[in-house]
């Protein structure tokens, strides 16, 4: 059976204390949020942290606040299930609830957190594509105080972010949406209705201005070393009328710029095919929502 | 490294000293000898170790006992009251939903949590809620029927 090896364990009550422990251990300390990824990798022997820092005793890291004008702030320790079910998320950023609803299985969503999902920097993250198309910012605390970074540039490679060793993600800030904006996150896994790691996933956001495409953002999961923006596909759609033909053209462009690998889950060529199909469907769904007057 | 935890298990406060790397699953089975909770994969894939943590289903193999400090845990042993089985337990028996029984505690606890939130769930909602638990006997149809029957009974 899989057993955890011994480690030193801390439950800091303040963020400053957590930053100090991280800095003192110089890369040997790992942050524990939901544990659904960290503990699995520890049991499998992929990582062997000398120190675990449990963040759950720190106040104010868990919770969702927001309104239609100022946007939404989601604490890094907020469980995925809370995002899936929060009325404020359904009202202001339904694409995030849609993504949360297909991440892993329901009992895992009760444990897994948004900060853990993004901090893990997995290219298969189900939350990163939606946060990217929504242009979320990440609040980060470190030895030199607080700063905010764009989520778009936060991933360096699989499992790696631009954060320094002593830094901790504390919250995700999602700007309020402009009118006539729609967004969707679609994912293909082996089990229907989520539950499984994404073979590939697509988030798309469209803002329509007098029937033409004002803004478009597309982000892809599981088809590169990090979550990717499909900028060529966006360029196909930007300015001009939103026609079915151009959406199909954008879907082909997204498949072209995806750089998937072949692994035990599926082949690279199949992943490209999924991206083409899901991009087209996500754009259709985003357009439908944008025309319906809904915000994302 | 050891740590003292206070965990309310099935309504009773348990104070124990555990190694920090002890999972909630190991705590329940090894320390408290509550072996109704099963260990399957130990990696969060199969769902057989599900217990209710503050009323919500979670995979106990992926929770540190230290992290459950100050919280409430319900296991399958905590469902019966005064010798009377919980309606979901009774429904699983009445509908023959138990074959080898390994996934049954997780299925029943998850169904109980679902019915408390949604007394009248649709078939899709039940399937979605139980989607994190694998039954290798393939008793899914009868499990689904048991949950539907328990919901109907409660109405």
Domains of chain B plus CATH, in order, are: 2-78 (3.10.20.30), 87-154 (1.10.150.120)
Nearest to A35 among B20, B62, B127 (CB): B62
Q: Is the pLDDT of residue A196 over 80?
A: no
> Chain A residue closest to B49 (CA)?
A107
Distance from CA of A42 to the nearest CA of B (A): 10
pLDDT digits (tens, 9 = 90+) for A86-140: 999 999 999 999 999 999 999 999 999 999 999 999 999 999 999 999 999 999 9
CB of A43 within 8 Å of a chain B CB? The answer is yes
Q: Hey, are the CB atoms on B20 and A7 less than 8 Å from each other?
A: yes
Nearest to B67 among A1, A54, A194 (CB): A54
pLDDT digits (tens, 9 = 90+) for A42-70: 999 999 999 999 999 999 999 999 987 88
pLDDT of residue A294: 53
Confidence of residue A193 (pLDDT cuts 50, 70, 90): low
Residue B71: its chain A contacts at CB < 8 A? none
CB-CB contact of A108 with A36 (8 Å): yes
Cα–Cα distance for residue pair A95/A131, rounded to 1 Å: 9
Q: Hey, are the CB atoms on A81 and B1 less than 8 Å from each other?
A: no
Chain A residues 67-86 with CB within 8 Å of chain B: 81
pLDDT digits (tens, 9 = 90+) for A277-291: 999 999 999 999 999
pLDDT of residue A194: 54
Mutation for testing the B interface, residue in A35, A105, A108, A265 having most B CBs under 10 Å: A105
Cα–Cα distance for residue pair B150/B38, rounded to 1 Å: 23
Q: What is the mean pLDDT of residues B56-78?
A: 98
Residue A56: its chain B contacts at CB < 8 A? 67
The CATH classification number of A8-54 equals 3.30.43.10
Q: Is the pLDDT of residue A225 over 90?
A: yes
Q: In the numeric block, which tokens belong to residue B121?
A: 């769930």
Residue A40: its chain B contacts at CB < 8 A? 43-44, 62
- Chain centroid offset of residue B74 CA: 7
pLDDT of residue A296: 53
Q: Hey, are the CB atoms on A9 and B58 less than 8 Å from each other?
A: no
CB-CB contact of A197 with A189 (8 Å): yes
Cα–Cα distance for residue pair A240/A71, rounded to 1 Å: 28
Helix (H, G, I), strand (E, B) or coil at A287: helix
The ranges of chain A annotated as CATH 3.30.43.10 are 8-54
Residue A54: its chain B contacts at CB < 8 A? 64, 66-67
Residue B39: its chain A contacts at CB < 8 A? 1
CB-CB contact of A196 with A126 (8 Å): no
pLDDT digits (tens, 9 = 90+) for A99-113: 999 999 999 999 999
**Cα first-last separation, chain A:** 44
Instruction: Give this prediction's pTM.
Output: 0.95
CB within 8 Å of A238: residues ≥ 6 apart: A213, A216
Q: Hey, are the CB atoms on A111 and B59 less than 8 Å from each other?
A: yes
CB-CB contact of A206 with A105 (8 Å): no
> Chain B residue closest to A42 (CA)?
B43
Residue A105: its chain B contacts at CB < 8 A? 47, 131-132
The topology under which CATH files domain A181-291 is Enolase-like; domain 1 (3.30.390)
ipTM: 0.97
Strands B2-9 and B72-74: parallel
CB of A195 within 8 Å of a chain B CB? The answer is yes
Nearest to A107 among B3, B19, B57 (CB): B57
Nearest CA-CA partner of A181 in A107, A292, A70, A266 = A292
Q: Give the Cα-Cα-Cα angle A245, A250, A254 (nearest 5 degrees).
A: 150
Residue A8: its chain B contacts at CB < 8 A? 1, 20
Strands A8-10 and A51-54: parallel
Report which of residues A157 and A192 the model is more confident about: A157
**Beta-carbon pairs below 8 A across chains A and B:** 90
Q: Hey, are the CB atoms on A108 and B59 less than 8 Å from each other?
A: yes
Q: How many helices (H) and strands (E) does chain A have?
A: 11, 14
Q: In the numeric block, which tokens belong to residue A263?
A: 């692994």
Q: Hey, are the CB atoms on A110 and B1 less than 8 Å from each other?
A: no
CB of B53 within 8 Å of a chain A CB? The answer is yes
CB of A106 within 8 Å of a chain B CB? The answer is yes
Domain A64-174 has CATH 3.30.465.10: yes
Q: Hey, are the CB atoms on B3 and A9 less than 8 Å from each other?
A: yes
CB-CB contact of A132 with A123 (8 Å): no
CB-CB contact of A170 with A149 (8 Å): no
| Ordered DSSP codes for A206-231 | EEEETTEEEEEEEEEESSSSS-EE-H
The ranges of chain A annotated as CATH 3.30.390.50 are 181-291
């Amino acid at each position: 059976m899989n057993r955890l090896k011994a480690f030193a364990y801390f439950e800091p009550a303040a963020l400053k204390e957590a930053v100090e422990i991280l800095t003192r251990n110089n890369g040997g300390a790992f942050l524990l949020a939901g544990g659904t990824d960290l503990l699995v990798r520890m049991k499998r022997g992929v990582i062997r942290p000398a120190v675990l820092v449990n963040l759950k005793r720190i106040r104010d890291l868990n919770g969702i606040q927001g309104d239609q004008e100022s946007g939404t702030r989601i604490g890094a320790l907020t469980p995925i299930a809370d995002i899936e079910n929060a009325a404020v998320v359904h009202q202001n950023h339904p694409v995030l609830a849609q993504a949360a609803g297909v991440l892993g299985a329901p009992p895992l969503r009760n444990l897994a957190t948004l900060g853990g999902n993004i901090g893990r920097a997995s290219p298969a993250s189900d939350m990163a594509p939606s946060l990217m198309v929504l242009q979320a910012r990440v609040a980060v605390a470190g030895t030199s105080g607080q700063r905010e970074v764009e989520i778009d540039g936060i991933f360096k490679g699989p499992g790696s972010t631009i954060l320094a060793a002593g830094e901790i993600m504390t919250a995700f800030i999602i700007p309020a949406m402009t009118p006539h904006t729609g967004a969707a996150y679609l994912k293909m896994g082996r089990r229907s209705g989520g539950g499984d790691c994404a073979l590939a996933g697509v988030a798309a956001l469209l803002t329509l201005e007098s029937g033409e495409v004002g803004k478009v953002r597309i982000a892809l999961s599981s088809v590169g070393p990090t979550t990717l923006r499909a900028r060529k596909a966006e360029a196909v759609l930007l300015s001009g009328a939103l026609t079915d033909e151009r959406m199909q053209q954008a879907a082909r462009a997204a498949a072209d710029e995806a750089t998937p690998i072949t692994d035990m889950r599926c082949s690279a060529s199949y992943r490209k095919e999924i991206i083409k199909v899901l991009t087209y469907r996500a754009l259709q769904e985003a357009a439908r929502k944008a025309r319906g007057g809904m915000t994302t | 490294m050891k740590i003292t935890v206070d965990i309310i298990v099935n309504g009773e406060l348990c104070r124990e000293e555990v190694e920090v790397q002890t999972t909630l699953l190991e705590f329940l089975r090894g320390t408290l000898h509550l072996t109704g909770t099963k260990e399957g994969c130990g990696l969060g894939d199969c769902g057989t170790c599900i217990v209710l943590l503050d009323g919500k289903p979670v995979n106990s193999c992926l929770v540190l006992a230290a992290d459950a400090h100050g919280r409430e845990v319900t296991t399958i042993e905590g469902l019966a009251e005064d010798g009377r089985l919980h309606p979901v337990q009774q429904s699983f028996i009445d509908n023959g939903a138990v074959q080898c029984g390994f996934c049954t505690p997780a299925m029943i606890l998850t169904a109980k949590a679902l019915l408390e939130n949604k007394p009248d769930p649709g078939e899709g909602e039940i399937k979605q809620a139980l989607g994190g638990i694998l039954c290798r006997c393939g008793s899914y149809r009868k499990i689904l029927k048991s949950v539907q029957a328990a919901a109907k009974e409660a109405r």
